[in-house]
Structure 1
Amino acid sequence: MKKKMLAAVLAVGMILSLAACGNGGNSGGSNNASASGQTQGEAKTEVDDTVQGVTDTEIKVGNTAAVSGAYAPVGVPFIAGIESYFKMINDQGGIDGRKITFVHKDDEFDPVKGKAYLQEMVEDEKVFAIVGHFGTPVVAATIDDLKSYGIPSVYFATGIGQLYAEHAETNADGYNLFPVQPIYTTEGQIMVARGIGTFNAKKIGIIYTSDDAGKDMLTGAKEKCEELGIEYVSEQVAAGAADVSAAVTSIKNANVDFVIVGAIQATMPTIVKEMASQGMTVPAITTYVNVSPAISEQVATDIAGKFDVYGNGWVSYDDERADNLALYQEWTDAEYADNAYAQTGWIAAAFFCEGLNRLAEEGKDVTWANYMAALEEAPLQNPFGGTIDYANGLRAGTQVMNLSKINASQPTGWELVDGLKSMDELFNVQ
């Protein structure tokens, strides 16, 4: 069972890896009109107190996600996890007497279809909220639409930097967006915190790719280094580059004592292999997307006896969360008992429902404004992870991560070395 759970933890990281691929982030077609008569990109300057999709007995929510085509192995269990959580809530009587109706459309990972279906969801289906917006191409193509509508949007199966905001006050800032999954910008900050808090780093090297993922990690890392007065140097390499020797040489010659590898998929192993080839010996850390057996297999032999490669993680199945795992498995079809994608769908639904629970406890009407304020009231607990704080317009996604390192002797190729910690905990802030 422990091996299965660790494999599930690693597989969660692959959601972002898979969702980051595809047919690009630009959408086609004409601009959509919003429910309030606005056009895309003309986001409201004040939070809307809209009520739609809510009756005395029902709250209607929806999303679009690929449940056919190449991304069906991710989308199908993701939707199943959302549906399982809502079934549990409905079978227990709903929230404040209201049961949740979940509407889903298959966008096939196509941003054009995603835009059209989102318009249908908001303007025709009149859903109260979007829960579990799926995939980088679709999210990137519709993020301005979501802001324009002002509709509460909880959980995004992507980590694109456009979701990040430190003090969102209006929908134009992304106030109505509530990311849960790690955002690369935040993860860049956390990697710096790890370097300082865990490895006592004094000078950090950052090797990042020229794609959005690499640039977002660089942005977060630079901001945190500058905030803390930590010296850093950075070098860019082309995403997918076969030769990264010049960048590695530059970082090596800078005499850094910790390296952030801000790259996903094929480029990360190339960078790590070159570091080993050039005789570097300082520890390196990379994004949770790379914490997979496939990555470990590619570099474990190269780094053996030279330096360790670490990676972040954002979910845990430790004893503290055992009851949550048991509850998930009780309400989920057996075929998804250990499925990481279904578990993330469960997480998405859990975050959405917590906002409703807070409104019910406080006896407040279910409106967009009240609901979003409820999400900001206090940190929310990820059933398989740490807390997320949305207070004062913070939209940073997961802010608590654990740490694993490559270990070829482990079945998954990775070994957990430190549990879930926030940046404050890493800096030993009391």
Structure 2
Amino acid sequence: MRTKKSLFVCVVLSLVLLAPVFGGGQQEGVPGVTEDTIRVGSTMALSGPVAAIGGPMAEGLRAWIAHVNNAGGIHGRQIDLRIQDDQFNPANTASLTRRLVERDRVFAMVGSLGTPCVLAIMDYLNDRGVPFVYQGAGATQLAVPPKQYVFPFQPNYLLEGNVMATYMVEELGLTRLGMVYRNADDGQDAYNSARETIEKAYPNAKLVEAISVDPYSSDFSTAIRRLQAADVEGIMLVTFNPQTPAFLQQAYEFGLTDPVILGSYANADASVVAAAGPDAGEGFQVMAWVAADLTDPDFPPWKIYQDFVGRADAIPNAFAVAGMIAGELFTEGLERAGRDLTREALVEAMESMDNWQGQLVPGATYHPFGDGTDVTSRLGIQAMYVLEVQNGGLAPVSQWIQYRDLD
């Protein structure tokens, strides 16, 4: 009798101890989710060669999360955002992400920066069912083939290379094109896409010179001489800061001033223009996808940033805006997922977005993953436009340019 009674007590105690895991609300058994917090991770280059991008992007993400938390959080929960400095080193990104997932037990990852860095953790997170929302990168591999738990948003380099070529040929009427691109996954994606677009869609145009450059090189003299010898009319430039202003300065010094130079969207920022200088930077054109006024301090969403940095006239740069968009997209997913938050609920919530327009998000669409055969299920926006440096500022010079279908 005593044995049966003891067994009964043990079973009851076991059920009580397990209740927080299996009962009391499904969310209570989910990593990173408590009654009043949602723990979220991110990796950014806060130091190192691209800190000029990572620092502002992290600030923008923090600003949006602070705005949401100050408004009461998401369904009564505050977001605990933990950003780790990976110095734009993929090995660091991988180890820091493992620490965030396995030690800190974050619910999701959001806004991590850089193509080589996010590709280093993409499969790790997807295989473990950890949602990975918004990456500060345009690698095609993030979206194609689709991954159930990975939600890219920025235009990928497949899209950008296509739109760059379309703009130069269709809108500018150029036929002799050159390209300078980073010898990395991002640059290679853009090059392959631009080349294929020209070959299939524009038989009267030709990519007469294409030059890959070391991602950390600062000397572009050889590339510039090759472009001059090829007599190009337009140059597609897929490099980042500080390489882009260095290229523009050297092109100006060598007299390569007649061709239109069109940079990738990573350069749509006043810091790039300032670093290039008024002579070398003037007339530089750059791809863009953020539909926001970066010159007007009274643009309503900037109040969120101004409150965070404590300056009433502050305007976020393009990289900070990217961080804010990451935050807005992620928190919209959390809001849709509801109080009973699970990772699967967040995935379903993200998949419910159909051209969703936020304060900054220009239109988010995802489809159910299903069996993974729908290659459009994880694509971000599919159009871009062009800005030009005019009198030291960036001004739009085109309408939205849609991806050119090559089928």
TM-score, normalised via structure 2 length: 0.71
1:215 correspondence with 2:177: no
On the 8 A contact 1:58/1:98 being kept in 2, the answer is yes
The amino acid across from 1:188 in the alignment is: G
Return the alpha-carbon distance in structure 2 between the equivalents of residues 103 and 274 of structure 1: 44
Percent identity over the alignment? 27
On the 8 A contact 1:387/1:400 being kept in 2, the answer is no
Return the alpha-carbon distance in structure 2 between the equivalents of residues 289 and 312 of structure 1: 8
Return the alpha-carbon distance in structure 2 between the equivalents of residues 187 and 382 of structure 1: 23
The amino acid across from 2:136 in the alignment is: A
The amino acid across from 2:388 in the alignment is: K
Segment of structure 1 superposing worse, 57-66 or 327-336 = 327-336
2:349 to 364, 370, 374: 374
Give the C-alpha shift of residue 283 in structure 1: 4.3
Give the C-alpha shift of residue 402 in structure 1: 3.0
2:323 to 314, 322, 345: 345
SS across alignment from 1:80: helix
1:417 to 389, 397, 401: 397
Deviations 1:1-55 (A, max 9, x none): xxxxxxxxxxxxxxxxxxxxxxxxxxxxxxxxxxxxxxxxxxxxxxxxx943234
Rg (Cα) greater in structure? 2
SS across alignment from 1:121: helix
Give the C-alpha shift of residue 74 in structure 1: 4.7
1:404 correspondence with 2:377: no
In the superposition, relative to structure 1, how do residues 222 and 371 fare at CA in structure 2: closer, same or farther (>3 Å)?
A: farther
Return the alpha-carbon distance in structure 1 between the equivalents of residues 264 and 138 of structure 2: 11
The amino acid across from 1:205 in the alignment is: L
On the 8 A contact 1:89/1:95 being kept in 2, the answer is yes
Give the C-alpha shift of residue 404 in structure 1: 2.0
Return the alpha-carbon distance in structure 2 between the equivalents of residues 138 and 335 of structure 1: 34
Question: 1:295 corresponds to which residue?
Answer: 276
1:87 correspondence with 2:54: no
1:172-187 to 2 correspondences below 5 Å = 175-187=148-160
1:154 to 133, 140, 144: 133
SS across alignment from 2:86: coil
Return the alpha-carbon distance in structure 1 between the equivalents of residues 86 and 237 of structure 2: 33
Give the C-alpha shift of residue 352 in structure 1: 0.5
1:18-97 to 2 correspondences below 5 Å = 51-68=30-47, 74-97=53-76
1:159-174 to 2 correspondences below 5 Å = 159-165=138-144, 168=146, 171=147
1:358 to 333, 336, 343: 336
Return the alpha-carbon distance in structure 2 between the equivalents of residues 282 and 73 of structure 1: 28
In the superposition, relative to structure 1, how do residues 61 and 238 fare at CA in structure 2: closer, same or farther (>3 Å)?
A: closer
In the superposition, relative to structure 1, how do residues 194 and 70 fare at CA in structure 2: closer, same or farther (>3 Å)?
A: closer
Return the alpha-carbon distance in structure 2 between the equivalents of residues 423 and 237 of structure 1: 26
Deviations 1:314-360 (A, max 9, x none): 334338x9222234434553399324244332221111011122223
Give the C-alpha shift of residue 276 in structure 1: 6.0
Structure 2: runs of 5+ lacking an equivalent: 1-28, 368-373
Segment of structure 1 superposing worse, 349-358 or 330-339 = 330-339
Question: 1:16 corresponds to which residue?
Answer: none
SS across alignment from 1:193: helix
Question: 1:311 corresponds to which residue?
Answer: 286
Deviations 1:236-281 (A, max 9, x none): 22415422344554464xxxx765344552574389559965xx96
Give the C-alpha shift of residue 138 in structure 1: 3.1
Return the alpha-carbon distance in structure 2 between the equivalents of residues 242 and 101 of structure 1: 47
Return the alpha-carbon distance in structure 1 between the equivalents of residues 51 and 261 of structure 2: 34
Return the alpha-carbon distance in structure 2 between the equivalents of residues 69 and 248 of structure 1: 33
Give the C-alpha shift of residue 210 in structure 1: 5.8
SS across alignment from 1:150: coil
1:254-265 to 2 correspondences below 5 Å = 259-264=235-240, 265=243
Return the alpha-carbon distance in structure 2 between the equivalents of residues 389 and 230 of structure 1: 33
Question: Over aligned residue pairs, what C-alpha RMSD do you find?
Answer: 3.8
Return the alpha-carbon distance in structure 1 between the equivalents of residues 315 and 160 of structure 2: 26
On the 8 A contact 1:296/1:406 being kept in 2, the answer is no
The amino acid across from 1:135 in the alignment is: G
2:210 to 217, 220, 236: 236
On the 8 A contact 1:192/1:225 being kept in 2, the answer is yes
In the superposition, relative to structure 1, how do residues 89 and 370 fare at CA in structure 2: closer, same or farther (>3 Å)?
A: same
Give the C-alpha shift of residue 133 in structure 1: 0.9
The amino acid across from 2:40 in the alignment is: V
May I ask how many residue pairs the two structures share in their alignment?
Answer: 351
Question: 2:303 corresponds to which residue?
Answer: 326
Segment of structure 1 superposing worse, 378-387 or 123-132 = 378-387
